Amino acid sequence: MSSETKQDPVAQMEKIVSLCKRRGFIYQSSEIYGGCGGVWDYGPLGAELKRNLRDAWWRAMMRDREDILGLDAAILMNPAIWKASGHVDTFADMMRECTLTNKRVRADHVEPQGGTVMQFTGAKSPGGWHLNRTVTVLMKKGEHIESFRKRVRALLAQNAGDAAGKPDEIELLGEQKTEVLEGSIDFHPESGGLLGEARPFNLMLRTFLGPTATEADVTYLRPETAQAIFAQFKNVFDSSRVKVPFGIGQIGKAFRNEVTPKNFTFRSREFEQMELEFFIKPDEAVEIISGSVRAWSEGADLGAPQQDWGWEMWHRYWVDQRTKFYESIGLGDVLEYYWQNKDDLAHYAKACVDILCEFPFGTEELEGIAARGDFDLSQHQKHSGKSLEIFDEELKAAAAKLDDAQKEALVQKRLAAEQAKTKGDPLPEADVRAWFDRLFKGFYVPHVIEPSAGLDRMALAIIAKAFDEFEKADDKGRKETITVLRFHPRVAPVKCGVFPLLKNKPELVAKAREVYELLRPHMNCFYDETASIGRRYARQDEIGTPFGITIDFDTLGEKGPDLQDTVTLRERDSGAQQRVKIGDLLGKLLPLLR
RNA sequence: GCGGGUGUAGCUCAGUGGUAGAGCGCAACCUUGCCAAGGUUGAUGUCGCGCGUUCAAAUCGCGUCACCCGCUCCA
């Protein structure tokens, strides 16, 4: 977005949504049937854009490195996986809703409270707004009746939006005291409104696997792609001759029954993730092999991984790598970082960084990079009963050189760390010693760094960043709004437009088709011979095509042999034109698209 | 799920009970010419969907669906 287009975020998003539909980037799912909540379809250009992003990720993570392997796992899995991962529990809380404010609380998180139960048969305001249902609210102990009424009016006004008008003008109807309660868990802790029945809010999409549809056949569409990587970790390790540290990456669909899908494709119920699980040695193993673990300090060199890196350096390394990736697709200058503090973190997580991006509706998360220790693999080891330890030859050899005092020092260091933990219970000493026994023999469950990115969010970020709109006056001084998508050439859905200057001259058309056929095997091109040349440029600008090629009479040799077989190459953002020999086109364009 | 708002041509919108509209876009043709150019011609709608009120509904009522904004999720 350029500065001149910054304005009302809702209007800005509406323009983007409208352009996406009009030009075939993104459509509402099932539109002819009235749509389908929280689900979106990608049209021809959207499909190309997503493919380019997927390819860029796959290339940066797999092709350009030697230490990461790909996986393409099924969306359906054994439901036991979701018990082990914690999704069945954390995604299925019982929730209760406040009947006054409609705020939701976890049913098991309501503190008992006492007070006087007050009922109103309804409410109305001078503006014509009225509420026709009974509202039950707890007047807390010591709360003055007038300040209580004022509070109820304010809450009603807040919930009704603009329609109810000013809180002071709301008239509460049919006030009645019903009873005095102690230790009730049926009222919202803040508003005091009566809570509705407890209902399960299951964020996972349930389905049935197999021809019968009984409870025994229930499974889920995966809520994230990561768990398949953990579940297949041992297979990949055993079949690929890799050593820790190494990673497994995967791109695929995931599904969540979002309570509030919103912001266009940003929060959808069906979405695509690009996840990497990068497995590293536990810090203790690094210390045994290298003698010490390198500490992170500001400005440390993250260029090339080193043998003495512990989880912290690896975590920083991946934040750096992912930042470089976003820079390479043109999002470098709109990124922000949020380092989760200790209170935000799950008990098993050591650190987590959100990479945020500026959208018209706010700065929101594109990718999370978490250091998750050995939590996931250990959970699957426990639930499946299968060992997910790996054997590390180098570690075994290094450990064999330690004497008993050195080994005991490592154990003591870990025991002290366990005692110092602020979240979760410390691991019992016996378990710590058992873990070190395995470690000294060269066995451990790898730890993991997880960069997890949302593809649909990335596509939306790219579109929102590229969106530019400005006013331009034509010859008659009539103002027109011009829209340009300033995509990085690497991600642009169409790379090049090819145009004969005029379409009623068969020689021009034939030559243009020739150029089109020359480029087409190497890049997504678009041939257009209709309307004026200016309009054709403008159409391509609007879908973000970075280059345009025009075939004119000079190309045919009308002005002599010097210009024969040269074309006009036009660059989208500057509008600059240059004469290029047809034979030089590929050599000139291809490096700009990689 | 709850409240508020919106829904008319591909897009943006006008149309307050009496024959469905505009601008832009789109398509075709003309133009030796490079940034939404000019001219001519043309196509496009169960007025989100359903039920009701009425002689008559895009318009009024009820229901329903989707989207937007708020209730905080974290890809």
How confident is the model over A179-226, as pLDDT tens digits? 888 888 888 877 788 887 766 666 788 888 888 888 888 889 999 999
pLDDT above 70 (res A159): no
Please, which pLDDT band fits residue A2 given cuts at 50, 70 and 90?
Answer: very low
Judge whether residue A97 contacts strand B, using its CB and a 7 Å cut-off: yes
Which of A37-51, A86-100, A371-385 shows the lowest per-residue confidence on average (mean pLDDT)? A86-100
Supply the pLDDT for residue A206: 84
Pairwise CA distance, residues A370 & A244, whole Å = 18
Pairwise CA distance, residues A52 & A59, whole Å = 10
Residue A54 CB-half CA count within 13 A: 15
Integer CA distances (angstroms), A231 to A240, A494, A536, in order: 16, 38, 51
Please, which pLDDT band fits residue A62 given cuts at 50, 70 and 90?
Answer: very high
Supply the pLDDT for residue A251: 97
Supply the pLDDT for residue A3: 38
Nucleotide nearest the Cα atom of A273 (by C1'): B75
pLDDT above 70 (res A274): yes
Integer distance in angstroms from CA A497 to C1' B19? 46
What is the bridge-based pairing of β-strands A205-208 and A218-221? antiparallel
Judge whether residue A554 contacts strand B, using its CB and a 7 Å cut-off: yes
Judge whether residue A142 contacts strand B, using its CB and a 7 Å cut-off: no
Number of continuous H segments (helices) and E segments (strands) in chain A: 17, 29
- Asked if residues A123 and A156 have their Cβ atoms less than 8 Å apart, the reply is yes
User: pLDDT tens digits, residue range A504-558?
Assistant: 888 888 899 999 999 999 999 999 888 888 888 888 998 999 999 999 888 988 8
The average confidence (pLDDT) of chain A is 86
pLDDT above 50 (res A4): no
Supply the pLDDT for residue A474: 57
Supply the pLDDT for residue A459: 93
Pairwise CA distance, residues A300 & A186, whole Å = 54
Please, which pLDDT band fits residue A386 given cuts at 50, 70 and 90?
Answer: very high
Pairwise CA distance, residues A321 & A252, whole Å = 21
Judge whether residue A21 contacts strand B, using its CB and a 7 Å cut-off: yes
Q: Say whether A588 sits in a helix, a strand or coil.
A: helix
What is the bridge-based pairing of β-strands A176-184 and A390-391? unpaired
Q: Say whether A423 sits in a helix, a strand or coil.
A: coil
Q: What average pLDDT does the segment A157-181 reach?
A: 73
Integer distance in angstroms from CA A458 to C1' B59? 43
- Asked if residues A505 and A476 have their Cβ atoms less than 8 Å apart, the reply is no
pLDDT above 50 (res A5): no
Pairwise CA distance, residues A40 & A36, whole Å = 8
pLDDT above 60 (res A177): yes
Nucleotide nearest the Cα atom of A507 (by C1'): B32
3-state secondary structure A28-79: ECCHHHCCCCCCEEECHHHHHHHHHHHHHHHHHHHHCCCCEEEECCCCECCC
**Helical packing angle, A283-290 and A404-420, nearest 10°:** 150
Please, which pLDDT band fits residue A68 given cuts at 50, 70 and 90?
Answer: very high
Alpha-carbon dihedral angle through residues A503, A506, A512, A517, given to the nearest 10 degrees:
120
Buried b (16+ CB within 10 A) or exposed e, A261-273: bebbbbbbbbbbb
Integer distance in angstroms from CA A580 to C1' B53? 71
Question: Is the Cα torsion angle A489, A494, A498, A503 positive or negative in sign?
Answer: negative
Integer CA distances (angstroms), A109 to A53, A91, A184, A196, A363, in order: 42, 16, 13, 14, 30
Pairwise CA distance, residues A300 & A308, whole Å = 13
Neighbours of A218 (CB within 10 A): 12
Judge whether residue A259 contacts strand B, using its CB and a 7 Å cut-off: yes
- Exposed/middle/buried for A147, CB within 10 Å: 0-12, 13-18, 19+? exposed
Determine the length of chain A.
594
Please, which pLDDT band fits residue A560 given cuts at 50, 70 and 90?
Answer: confident
CA A442 from centroid of its chain's CA atoms: 37
Q: Identify the top-confidence range among A172-181, A381-390, A467-476.
A: A381-390
Backbone φ and ψ for A405, nearest 5 degrees, come out as -65, -40
Which of A124-138, A304-318, A439-453 shows the lowest per-residue confidence on average (mean pLDDT)? A124-138
Pairwise CA distance, residues A511 & A274, whole Å = 42
Nearest to A546 by CA among A524, A566, A515: A524
Query: Which bases of strand B have any atom within 7 Å of the beta carbon of a protein residue?
Result: 1-5, 7, 10-13, 25-38, 48-49, 65-75
Pairwise CA distance, residues A475 & A414, whole Å = 77
Q: What is the pTM of this model?
A: 0.85
CA A54 from centroid of its chain's CA atoms: 13
* Closest residue by C-alpha to C1' distance, nucleotide B28: A530
Q: Say whether A302 sits in a helix, a strand or coil.
A: coil
User: pLDDT tens digits, residue range A289-332?
Assistant: 999 999 899 889 999 999 999 999 999 999 999 999 999 999 98
Which of A64-73, A294-303, A342-351, A574-583 shows the lowest per-residue confidence on average (mean pLDDT)? A342-351
Supply the pLDDT for residue A324: 95
Q: The tokens of A282 are what?
A: 């536990």
Please state whether A264 falls in left (phi above 0), alpha (psi between -120 and 50) or beta: left
pLDDT above 50 (res A442): yes
Pairwise CA distance, residues A491 & A374, whole Å = 36
Please, which pLDDT band fits residue A100 given cuts at 50, 70 and 90?
Answer: confident
Please, which pLDDT band fits residue A1 given cuts at 50, 70 and 90?
Answer: very low
User: pLDDT tens digits, residue range A462-484?
Assistant: 999 999 887 776 555 556 778 88
Name residues 199-258 of chain A with a Cβ under 7 Å from nucleic strand B. 203, 224, 256, 258
Nucleotide nearest the Cα atom of A558 (by C1'): B32
Judge whether residue A580 contacts strand B, using its CB and a 7 Å cut-off: no
pLDDT above 80 (res A359): yes
